[in-house]
């Protein structure tokens, strides 16, 4: 549709008064500096259309908030007086993303300019722990990271928590996270009482949604406005960016691709339904097909040690075991079949493969690609490519940082003036 219908946009209900204009222009200049890395005031003027007096005032305010600084001299061209250059500062503004997953907790923090301040991942058996214990552990990780930022003189501008499950983003509650065994956990409320500083904005979101955002902001599909992120783990996670925006749906539950029915005559899924995509391409399915002689049992315990299982399958393929070879090909075919559904419905430019899909991407992609070509609507399928994620385990917490930074770029006035 060429004309967008935007009943929810600012212009529908809030007047463009002077404060709104000011905020929009502060955001405009900050985004410009952020995108350019380094630029002169006159290039900001030329490219934004704002006059120099306005820009001086805006830059002054951004400096007072510690978001940009001047370095110099900047040579705009071969002729004329060199001027000072504007660069993103934000060295005192920190963004934190944390992820609680089945078997680890990850924390990633940067300042506004992207300098990495923390990047940790610790093993933690959340799958086998009570929610209270997981939340305590997560609170400790957050607390120690915030303390570290504090020591470095960085004030936390926001925190995003990634969880593998259905999240009520508006209420900050984890509605259902099967691989954590959680139902109805009021996460934000709980973490706030566990010591996240008052006044720091917090958000909770699905891990794959945040990973999709990270791919869009800094991964293999950087800047691609229509992308789908898929992660192969115990479950199959999916995050969707459409028209440059994360798709959330009515309640934040969109993107549950793992439980899309792909085979009405198929196996029972962990969720109790029949023929979910996860039963064809989840890690348990691969392990079962590739190593049928192993007594790994059924259910989540099959993949308690995903690294070991994958290493074994890769070894068997290297040794020429036809079962391992066939299992990977079968997963690739079902990956392509499910992808055809996503392509027909979302018309994405890229499908980014994370988790174990990324590790086996070289084998999986050609098979999936052929199956997509066979089943997807031709033009949309032709124009969509697969790409292996390079962000690894850090994708979701990195996406959490992106959410915080985006909030600052949208509203620089959310960062207090320096004393």
Enumerate residues 274-293 that contact a second copy by CB under 8 A: 274
Tell me the C-alpha to C-alpha distance, in Å, between residue 121 and each of 10, 15, 335.
39, 45, 29
* Among the residue ranges 105-113, 139-147, 243-251, 359-367, the one whose residues contact a second copy (CB under 8 A): 243-251
- Residue in 148, 263, 312, 325 binding a second copy, rule: CB under 8 A: 263
Q: How many Cβ atoms from other residues are within 10 Å of residue 244's Cβ?
A: 11
CA 179 – CA 258 distance, rounded (Å) = 13
Q: How far is the CB of 325 from a second copy (least distance, A)?
A: 22
Query: E-assigned strands of 180-283?
Result: 182-185, 202-206, 227-232, 236-242, 245-246
**Of 61, 205, 207, 278, the one binding a second copy by CB under 8 A:** 205
Among 108, 124, 182, 216, binds a second copy (CB under 8 A): 216
- How far is residue 409's CA from residue 89's CA, in Å, rounded to a whole number? 12
d(CA 87, CA 261): 50
Q: Among 79, 198, 199, 265, which residue sits at the site for a second copy (rule: CB under 8 A)? A: 265
Q: Which one of 243, 320, 322, 419 is in contact with a second copy (CB under 8 A)?
A: 243
DSSP state letter for 295: -
Nearer to a second copy, 304 or 383 (CB): 383
Give yes or no for residue 341 binding a second copy (CB under 8 A). Answer: yes
Contact between 194 and a second copy per CB under 8 A: no
In whole angstroms, the minimum distance from the beta carbon of 121 to a second copy comes to 23
Q: Is 261 in the site for a second copy (CB under 8 A)?
A: yes
> Which DSSP string corresponds to 349-376?
SEEEEEEHHHHTHHHHHHHHHHHHHHHS
Span from 75-83, 238-246, 321-329, 389-397 in contact with a second copy (CB under 8 A): 238-246
Residues 378-407, interacting with a second copy (CB under 8 A):
378-380, 383-384, 402-404, 406-407
Of 202, 218, 197, 213, the closest CA to residue 161 belongs to 202
What string of H, E and C letters represents the secondary structure of 93-145? EEEEEEEECCCEEEEEEEECCCCEEEEEEEECCHHHCCHHHHHHHHHHHHHHH
Question: Of 68, 118, 157, 166, which one interacts with a second copy (CB under 8 A)?
Answer: 166
Should residue 11 be labelled a site residue for a second copy when binding is judged by CB under 8 A? yes
Interface with a second copy, residue 244, by CB under 8 A: yes
Tell which residue, 259, 253, 287, 286, has the closest CA to residue 271.
259
Least separation, in Å, of the C-beta of 270 and a second copy? 13
Check: CB of residue 316 under 8 Å from CB of residue 194.
no
Closest CB to a second copy among 28 and 107? 28
Residue 77 interacting with a second copy (CB under 8 A): no
Asked if residue 145 lies in contact with residue 118, where contact means CB atoms within 8 angstroms, the answer is yes
Name the one range near a second copy by CB under 8 A: 63-71, 108-116, 118-126, 241-249: 241-249
| Alpha-carbon gap, residue 414 to 405, rounded angstroms | 11
137 touches a second copy (CB under 8 A): no
Closer by beta carbon to a second copy, 12 or else 318: 12
Using the rule CB under 8 A, which residue among 375, 385, 388, 393 binds a second copy? 375
Q: What angle do CA 252, 257, 263 make, to 5 degrees?
A: 145
What CA–CA distance (Å, rounded) separates 130 from 185? 11
- For the chain, the residue count is 419
- Is-contact 310 324, C-beta < 8 A? no
Minimum separation from the CB atom of position 64 to a second copy (A): 20
In the bound state with a second copy, the residue whose beta carbon lies nearer, of 51 and 78, is 51
Work out how close the CB of 12 gets to a second copy at its nearest, in angstroms, rounded to a whole number.
Answer: 6
What is the per-residue binding string for a second copy in 15-54, x denoting contact by CB under 8 A? xxx--xx--xx-xx--x----------------xxx----
How many residues bind a second copy, per CB under 8 A? Answer: 92
Site for a second copy in 321-340 (CB under 8 A): 337, 340
């Amino acid at each position: 549709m060429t004309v967008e219908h935007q009943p929810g946009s600012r212009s529908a209900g809030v007047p463009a008064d002077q404060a709104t204009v000011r905020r929009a222009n502060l955001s405009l200049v900050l985004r410009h500096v952020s995108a350019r890395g380094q630029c002169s005031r006159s290039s900001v003027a030329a490219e934004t259309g704002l006059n120099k007096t306005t820009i001086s005032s805006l830059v002054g305010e951004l400096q007072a908030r510690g978001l940009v600084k001047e370095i110099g001299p900047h040579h705009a061209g071969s002729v004329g007086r060199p001027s000072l250059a504007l660069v993103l500062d934000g060295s005192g503004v920190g963004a934190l993303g944390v992820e609680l997953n089945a078997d680890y907790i990850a924390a990633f923090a940067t300042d506004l300019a992207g300098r990495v301040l923390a990047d940790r991942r610790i093993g933690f058996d959340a799958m086998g722990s009570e929610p209270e214990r997981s939340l305590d552990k997560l609170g400790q990780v957050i607390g120690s990271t915030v303390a570290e930022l504090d020591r470095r003189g960085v004030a936390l501008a926001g925190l995003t928590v990634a969880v593998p499950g259905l999240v009520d983003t508006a209420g900050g509650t984890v509605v259902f996270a099967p691989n954590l065994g959680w139902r109805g956990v009021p996460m934000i409320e709980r973490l706030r009482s566990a010591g996240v500083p008052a006044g720091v904005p917090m958000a909770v979101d699905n891990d794959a949604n945040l990973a999709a955002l990270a791919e869009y902001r800094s991964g293999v599909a950087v800047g691609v406005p229509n992308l789908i992120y898929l992660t192969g783990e115990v479950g199959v996670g999916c995050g969707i960016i459409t028209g440059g925006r994360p798709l959330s749906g009515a309640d934040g539950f969109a993107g549950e691709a793992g439980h899309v029915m792909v085979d009405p005559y198929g196996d029972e899924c962990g969720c109790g339904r029949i023929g979910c995509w996860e039963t064809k391409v989840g890690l348990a399915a691969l392990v079962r097909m590739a190593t049928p002689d192993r007594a790994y049992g059924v259910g989540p315990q099959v993949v308690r040690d995903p690294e070991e299982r994958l290493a074994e399958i890769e070894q068997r393929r290297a040794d020429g075991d036809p079962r391992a070879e066939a299992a990977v090909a079968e997963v690739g075919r079902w990956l392509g079949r499910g992808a055809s559904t996503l392509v027909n419905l979302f018309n994405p430019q890229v499908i980014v493969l994370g988790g174990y899909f990324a590790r086996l991407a070289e084998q999986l992609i050609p098979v999936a690609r052929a199956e997509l070509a066979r089943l997807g609507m031709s033009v949309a399928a032709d124009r969509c490519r697969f790409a292996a994620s390079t962000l690894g385990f850090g994708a979701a917490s990195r996406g959490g940082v992106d959410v915080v930074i985006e909030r600052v770029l949208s509203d620089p006035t959310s960062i207090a003036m320096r004393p």
